[in-house]
Each structure stands twice: as C-alpha cells, then as structure tokens.
Structure 1
Amino acid sequence: MTSDSALPLPDYDELPITELQHRIRSLPDEDLRTLIDYEESHANRTPVLELLRTRQSELAEGAEPSGGDQQADSGKPADTSHGSPVSADSAAQPSGPLRHGVAGQTPGRDRP
C-alpha cells in the first residue's frame, strides 16, 4: 500500500477533480496505476477512478504524457511572513439576535 507522501502528485487527496484532470496529463502509465491502486484502497471515488482509467486508456491508445514536473508545485498558495492584522481588539462586539430580522425592532440588543 502506498502512503500519501509517496504518490506521484503532491497533496493528491486535497486536489479537486478539475485540478486532478489537468495534473494527470503529465503522468506516465505506471504513475496512473499507482494513483488508481491508492484511490481504490482509500476513498474509492467513482468519478476520480473513471478519470484516472480514462487517462490510462488514452495512454494505451498512443497518447503521450505532457511535460511538467508534478512534484514542483502543490497548487497551494505559499505561506507569507506578514501575518494577519486581525486581533481581539479589531473583532466585532457580540450582540443578540435581531427580533424578526429588523434592527429597529430590537431595542437594546444585549446592551446594558
């Protein structure tokens, strides 16, 4: 059984099917077989398996893998060193629910 870190696509389990559809174009048949085996033994998602098997059939019929290094980019945004300006001081003050959804009909709204 293959671990998630040994798969040919980084963050495979987190990829939406639309992204996966594009990313598998550069994979050879052996890597597709690895993904199919992994998918069958883990999530076993029918649309994903159909996508992988269709691509495997295309390769068997003579299609060539496209260029590209799938290990280079995970598709996730990089971490930034800037941090977040959000703090407890900038958060909204808690309040009760609106009466009938109208602010004017809710006198005081949890105010002392």
Structure 2
Amino acid sequence: MLPMPHAAVAPEQDRTGGTTTATVPLDGVDGLDVGVWEMSAGTMTDVEADELFVVLAGRATVEILPVNGFTAAVATLRPGTVMRLAAGMHTVWTVTEPLRKVYVAR
C-alpha cells in the first residue's frame, strides 16, 4: 500500500482535534494533478478546488455548505463513490473510518 505521511490539519479547520491528512501527488496530465489524499477519523472544514475523486477506502460524509451560490447537500462516501467538487465550495468532512481517495484536480 502507498505510504501516506500525515500532518495535522490547521487548527482553524479542525473541528474535532487531532485530525490529520496526507497527500501524495502521482502525476500531472494536461494541467491536471492526479494523486492520493487521505484523512484520519475526525471532522474538518475546507474550501475546494475543481476536483473529481473516487473513494478507495474508508467511510465519511462531505457536507456542501450553502456558500458562494452552491446548494446545501450531504454526500455519503464509501469505497467506489465517485464525486465532483467545484472550486469555491465550502465543505465539512466527517470521517468515521480513515478515508483514502484518488483525485484528479485542476
């Protein structure tokens, strides 16, 4: 399995304390970044970039907040889930089992 060196989430984003994430870039194609991202159990906020991802492992929810013209929504994430995030989305990630995803982002 790909080793993922984790770092603490910034305090202003970490809602539960002790949450960590890791990113390993894999490649770039035509201005797109491809990589693997992982998050420990916990809850954090984020502002998204344009991204398409597939969940490889873990369980979580991602809440899209009604900010910047986006409609509020909650998605359940589990292995095999495919999701697109748009630049400027404000999200809340709640991970119950460590989450690993492969992503393609601008």
Q: What TM bracket, shorter-length normalisation?
A: under 0.3
TM-score by length of 2: 0.26
Larger C-alpha radius of gyration, 1 or 2?
1
RCO higher in structure (CA 8 A, sep ≥6): 2
**TM-score w.r.t. structure 1 length?**
0.25
